Chains A and B, each alone.
Chain A
Amino acid sequence: MKRMITYRQALNEAIITEMSRDSSVFIYGIDVADHKRIFGSGNGILEEFGKDRCFSTPLSECAMTSFGLGAALSGLRPIHVHMRVDFMILAMNELTNMIASFSYGSCGQLKVPMVIRAVIGRGWGQSWQHSKTLHSWFAHIPGLKVVMPSRPSDAKGMLISAIRNNNPVVFIEHRWLYDVIGEVPEENNPEALTGCRVLRQGSDISVLAVSWMNVEALQAAEVLEKHGIKLEIIDARSISPFDDVTVLESVKKTGHLIIADYDWIHCGFGAEVATRIYEKSMNSLKSPITRIGFAEAHCPCSRPLENAFYPSAVDIIRSVEKKLKLSRIDLSGEDFYSYEKKFKGPF
C-alpha cells in the first residue's frame, strides 16, 4: 500500500530523522518554537529535542543568519527557518558576502553545513512583502545551493540531503505546497540536490516548472490531454547548481519548451535556462522558448488583482495554443486553483 502524507509531514519527518541521527543538527528562527511551529512543519521537535536544539529567536535576521554561519563553521548543522523568503533580504549581506564565500576563501579549510529554509507566501492578500521567491537572486551567487522541491517525497529526501550536505543550502518551500499529498517512503532516503524530475511524460511540448507552478502545469496537462495534447512536465527542483540534461533531452523529443517560473521573468531563472537550451540545442527547437512568470509589478492584495499577477495553468494552456497554432480552448467547465480553495489563512 502506498504511504501518502503531506508535504508538511514530509518536511517534519526529514527534520526529526536528521535530528535523531545527528546531535549536531539544530533548528532555529523567528517563531520556530511557537504554537504554530512553522505551519506545522516543526511539530513535535521542541518536545523531542528540547529548547537547546529548537528555539525561537529575536527578530534579528542579520545576526541570526551569521550566528548559523559561526555554528556551522564550528561543526554544528544549523537549520535556519524564515516564515517568508522576503525576510531573507534583511540578511543578504550575511548570505552573499559571508556564508557563500567561506569554503572558497578558506580553500576548503572551513565548510558551512547550513540549511536556510524559507517559505513563499501567497493568497489571503499577502501583497508584496510576503510573496516573493527570490531564487534567482540566491542562484546568482556561487557557493550557495538553491532547491525548491514541489512534491512531498522530494521535500523529505532533499531536506535530508540538504542537512547532510557540507555546503549552505537555501531550501525554498511554497506555502500552498504544505497541503499537497503524495507518496513518501518511510525510509529516510536522501534525494540528490541537483537534477530535474520528470513528473509527467509527454511528446508534444516540454514544460519546465518551478515550485508551485508544477501543480499548475500538471493541471494544464490534464486539460490539454482531453484535447489530444501531451505535455511533458519537468520539475526544476534544483535551481542552483542547475543540471539541464533532462530539459535538453525533453526538448529534443518535443521541440517546444515553456518555462513556467514562479518569479519575475526579467533576469530570472527562465532566462538562464532558455539561454542554455539555445546554446546547446538550438536546432531541436520548433518554436521560440516561452517564459511564464509574475507580472512585471509588485504583488497586489485584492484577489482579482492578485490573480492577474500570478502565472497559472491557464497561462500555460494559452501558451501551448499559441505554440501549436491551435484555436482557443473553452475552459469554462474547468476547475482551477484547487489548492487555493483548501487554503484558509491566516498567513
Chain B
Amino acid sequence: MKQPNINIALYKTMYMIRRTEEVIQSHYLEDEMKTPMHMSMGEEAIASGVCHALKAEDQILGSYRSHGIYIAKTQETDKFFAEMYGKVTGTSKGKAGSMHLLAPGSGLVCTSAIVGSSIPVALGFAFANKYSNNNKIAAVFFGDGAIDEGVFWESLNFACLKKLQVLFVCEDNGFAVHSHTSDRHGYDSIADIVSKFDCNVFKSNSSDAEVIYNITKDAIKAIQDNERPAFLYLRYYRYLEHVGVFEDFKAGYRLRDEFEKWLKVDPVRIQREKLLKLIKEGDLVSLEREVDQKVESSRLKAKQADFPCVDIAFEDTYI
C-alpha cells in the first residue's frame, strides 16, 4: 500500500456514490424523486479514480449517467438530492433532474442526455484552456454507445489535429441501452483504432480504483508531455437496468452470471478490503457512518425543501 491517503479518498468517494444510489433505491418507489434515474452502480471506480487524478480546477463533462462523476467531483450530496426531488435548492433549482447535473464551480460543466453530445463540448473547454494557457484538462466521460455516434470521431480528429488537452474517458459496459457491443461494432477494439490517431491510448479492465487513478495520472502526464489528447478505455459492469433502480436480468438480454463475475471484483468491496490492511476497521466504519449520515441528511433536507416557485420555469431562457 504505497498511497494510503489517496486510497482512503478513493474509497470514501466510491462509498458515497454507492450509498447515495442505495438510498435512491430505497426511496424511489415513494415516487417523490420524479426523474429518470440512470444509475452509476458498478462504475464507481472509474468516477472516483479519474476524478481524484484530476486537479480540482480541471473540467469534467458527462452523459445522463452522471451520479458517480457528480459526487466524485463535488463531494457533495445536498444539491444533488434536492435536484432529484425537484426542489429549488437543487443544482438547477429542479429544472434539470438526474440527467443534466451541473456544478460549474466544482468543474462539472456539462452533462447531456443525447448520447455523445458532451464530447465536442470538451473540445471547446480544452481550446479555451489552451488559449489562456491555464494548464487545465477537460475530461469527458461517455459510454461505448457514444463511439457509435459520428460526433465522437469528429471530436477525436479535431482534438488530435489541434493538440487539445482532452482526456476522453470511454466507459465500456458492453451495452448501448440494451444492444450488446457485438451487435453494434464492425471492429474488435476501439483502443486499437484510436491508437492510429495522434492520441495517447490507455486501457484497463480493472475495477480497482487505485489502478484507474494511476492510469489516469499516466494519461495526464502523457497529455502534458507530448501535447496530444488521451483516450482512456475502461471496462465496467452496469449493475442495474439501463434506466431505473432495479436489476433487469429477467429481461433476457444479459445473463446474471456475468454480473456475478463482476460482483466478485466489486469496486467498493475490493477497495474496502484493501483498506482493512491499512487502517483499523473501526476507523473505516466511522468513515462509512459519517458518509451514511451525510447522505441521509441530504435526502431529508431535499425532501423537506420547497419546490421552486412556478416563475422559475420561465426564467433564464435568455440572459
Q: Which residues of A contact B (CB under 8 A)?
A: 26, 52, 57-58, 60, 62-76, 78, 93-94, 97-98, 103-111, 142-143, 145, 166-167, 241
Jot down 23 A-B pairs with beta carbons below 8 A, ordered by A: A52-B131, A58-B161, A60-B151, A60-B155, A60-B157, A63-B119, A63-B154, A69-B120, A69-B121, A69-B124, A70-B125, A71-B124, A71-B127, A73-B125, A74-B125, A103-B317, A105-B102, A106-B102, A108-B315, A108-B316, A109-B102, A111-B319, A241-B318
A67/B112 contact (C-beta < 8 A), A76-B131, A103-B317, A107-B316 known = no
Given A60-B154, A62-B151, A76-B131: A110 and B120 within 8 A (CB)?
no
Structural contact, A76 and B128, CB atoms closer than 8 A: yes
Q: Is the beta-carbon distance between B102 and A70 smaller than 8 angstroms?
A: no
Tell which of B18-26, B93-101, B224-232, B276-284 binds the partner: B93-101
Q: Contact check, B127 vs A104: say whether CB atoms are below 8 A apart.
A: no
Q: Roughly how many angstroms separate A104 CA and B125 CA in the complex, as a whole number? A: 20
Q: Which of A57, A63, A78, A103 contacts B316 (CB 8 A)?
A: A103
> A98 to chain B: which residues have CB within 8 Å?
112, 114, 117, 121
Q: A105-B92, A108-B319 known; A62 and B110 CB under 8 Å?
A: no
Q: In the bound complex, do residue A58 and residue B122 qualify as a contact, i.e. CB atoms below 8 Å apart?
A: no
Docked pose: A197 CA to B129 CA in angstroms: 41
Q: How large is the interface on B (under 10, 10 to 19, 20 to 34, 35 or more residues)?
A: 35 or more
- What is the count of residue pairs linking A and B with beta-carbon distances less than 8 angstroms? 129
Q: Are A145 and B150 in contact (CB under 8 A)?
A: no
Quick check: A63 and B125 within 8 Å, CB to CB? no
A107 near B95 with CB under 8 A, answer: yes
Do most interface residues of chain B lie in helix, strand or loop, or is the interface mixed? Answer: helix
Kindly list chain B residues whose C-beta atoms are within 8 Å of the C-beta of A58. 154, 157-158, 161
Q: How far is the CA of A108 from the CA of B119 in the complex (A)?
A: 22
How far apart sit A69 and B96, CA to CA, in the bound complex (Å)? 19
Cα distance A176–B102 when bound, in Å?
44
**B residues less than 8 Å from A62 (CB atoms):** 120, 150-151, 154
By the criterion CB–CB under 8 Å, are A70 and B112 in contact?
no
Q: Which residue of A lies closest to B128 (CB)?
A: A74
Asked if A105 contacts B96 (CB within 8 A), the reply is yes
CB-CB < 8 A to B102: which residues of A? 105-106, 109-110
**Structural contact, B100 and A67, CB atoms closer than 8 A:** no
Q: Shortest Cβ distance from B62 into chain A, in angstroms?
A: 14
| A107–B158 touching, CB < 8 Å | no
Docked CA distance A76–B317 (Å)? 20
Query: Would you call B128 and A71 a contact (CB within 8 A)?
Result: yes
Alpha-carbon separation in the docked complex, A166 to B318 (Å): 8
Counting chain B CB atoms within 10 Å of each CB, which of A74, A105, A145, A241 scores highest? Answer: A74
CB contacts (< 8 Å) of B100 on chain A: these are 105
Q: Closest Cβ of chain A: how far from B93's Cβ, in Å? A: 5
B201 at the binding interface (Cβ < 8 Å): no
Known interface pairs A60-B154, A105-B95; A75-B127 also in contact (CB < 8 Å): no
Question: How distant is the Cα of A61 from the Cα of B150 in the complex, in angstroms?
Answer: 11
- In the complex, B194 has a CB within 8 A of chain A: no
Which residues on A sit within 8 Å (CB–CB) of B126?
Answer: 70
Complex interface: chain A residues within 8 A of B319 (CB): 103, 108, 111, 166-167
- Top 10 A-B residue pairs of the complex, sorted by shortest distance between their CB atoms: A70-B124, A74-B128, A63-B154, A60-B154, A66-B120, A71-B124, A63-B120, A70-B121, A67-B123, A108-B316
Q: A76-B128, A110-B104, A142-B317 known; 8 other A-B pairs, CB under 8 Å?
A: A60-B158, A64-B154, A66-B119, A70-B120, A94-B120, A97-B112, A104-B315, A109-B102
